[in-house]
Chains A and B, each alone.
Chain A
Amino acid sequence: MTPAHFAFSSAFMLGLAGLAFHRTHFISALLCLEGLMLSLFIALSLWTLQFDSMNSASMPMILLAFSACEAGTGLALLVATTRTHSTNRLKNLNLLQC
C-alpha cells in the first residue's frame, strides 16, 4: 500500500470511528462526517493526479457538491434538534428510551 493510499484510508477509518464512537455533542459527529468527506475528496483527487487520468478530475468536484448538500442537511437537523430539545447533547435524545 503506497503511503498516500495508507494515509487517506486510515483518515477515512478514523473519521468513521469518530462518528461511531461519538460522545457528547451532535455537532462533533457531524464534524467527523465532514472529515470522512474530506478524506474521500483527497482520495479521488490523488487518484486523478497520481494515475494521470485527468478525465476523472470531475469526480472530486461532484463529490464536493453533494457533500455540501449533506452538510447542509446535517446542520438543519442540528438546528431542529437544538430548537426542540434545547441542546444538542446526544443524551437528550431520549424520548424513546424505556
Chain B
Amino acid sequence: MSYMMYVLLFGLVLGLVAVASNPSPYFAALGLVVVSGVGCGVLVSSGGCFLSLILFLIYLGGMLVVFAYSAAMAAEPYPEGWGSWPALRLMVGYVLGVGVAWVFLGEGWYEEDWGGFDGLVGVSVLRGDMVGVSVMYSSGGWLLVAGGWVLLLTLFVVLELTRGLARGALRAV
C-alpha cells in the first residue's frame, strides 16, 4: 500500500514536469488532468475520500473543463508535443533538478513514514475530513459569506474585463 503511495507521488511530480515544460496547451491541460487524478489517488490513500471527491468534481470537472475549451484560443496547425526539442530539454532539466533535490533532501524514507489516523473509522459512516469540512458551515459561517462575496465580485471583474466594445480593460491603442 505504501508502494502505491510512492507510485502516486512519483506520478504527481512527473505530471507537473510534463505541464511545466510548456508544450502546446492541449498537452499541458492533459498533463494537468493526469496530475489531478493522481492527486486524488494520493488523498484517497491518506484517508481523505471527501476531499478527493471535491478535487475531482470541482477542480477537474469544473475548472479544468473550462481550461480545456479555452485552449481553443491557442489553436495552431502543428501543436508542439513533448517530443519537440525545447520541451524535451526543459523536461530533462526539471527531472534532473528534482533528482538533485531528492539526493539532498531524501534521507530516511522508510516504511513508517505514512501517517494518517482517522479517529472515526469503524465507528461511524462519517469520515474525518467530511466532519472537518462541516466546521466550515458551523463555526466558519462568516468565512463562507466572505467567500461568496468574493465569488460575486469575481463575476463582475470578469464581466468588466471581457466587456470590449469601447471601454474594455485591454486595448491595443
Q: Which residues of A contact B (CB under 8 A)?
A: 1-4, 6-8, 10-11, 13-15, 17-19, 21-28, 30-32, 34-35, 38-39, 41-42, 45-46, 48-52, 54-58, 60-62, 64-69, 71-73, 75-85, 88, 95
Total residue contacts A-B, CB cutoff 8 A = 244
Indicate whether B63 reaches chain A with its CB closer than 8 angstroms.
Answer: yes
Q: Which residues of chain B are within 8 angstroms of A22 by Cβ–Cβ distance? A: 22
Q: Which residues of chain A are within 8 angstroms of B155 by Cβ–Cβ distance? A: 72
Contact call B67/A34, Cβ cutoff below 8 A: yes
Contact call B136/A61, Cβ cutoff below 8 A: yes
| Total count of chain B residues near the partner, CB < 8 A | 84
Q: Which residues of chain A are within 8 angstroms of B9 by Cβ–Cβ distance? A: 3-4, 7
Indicate whether B172 reaches chain A with its CB closer than 8 angstroms.
Answer: yes
Interface residues of B: mostly helix, strand, loop or mixed? Answer: helix
Within 8 A of A (CB), among B1-37: 5-6, 9-10, 12-13, 16-17, 19-25, 28-29, 32, 35-36
Known: A62-B136, A80-B170. A46 touches B43 (CB 8 A): yes
The distance in angstroms between the C-alpha atoms of A39 and B155, with both chains bound, is: 25
Q: Who on chain A is nearest to B140 by CB?
A: A58
Contact call B51/A18, Cβ cutoff below 8 A: no
Q: Who on chain B is nearest to A17 by CB?
A: B20
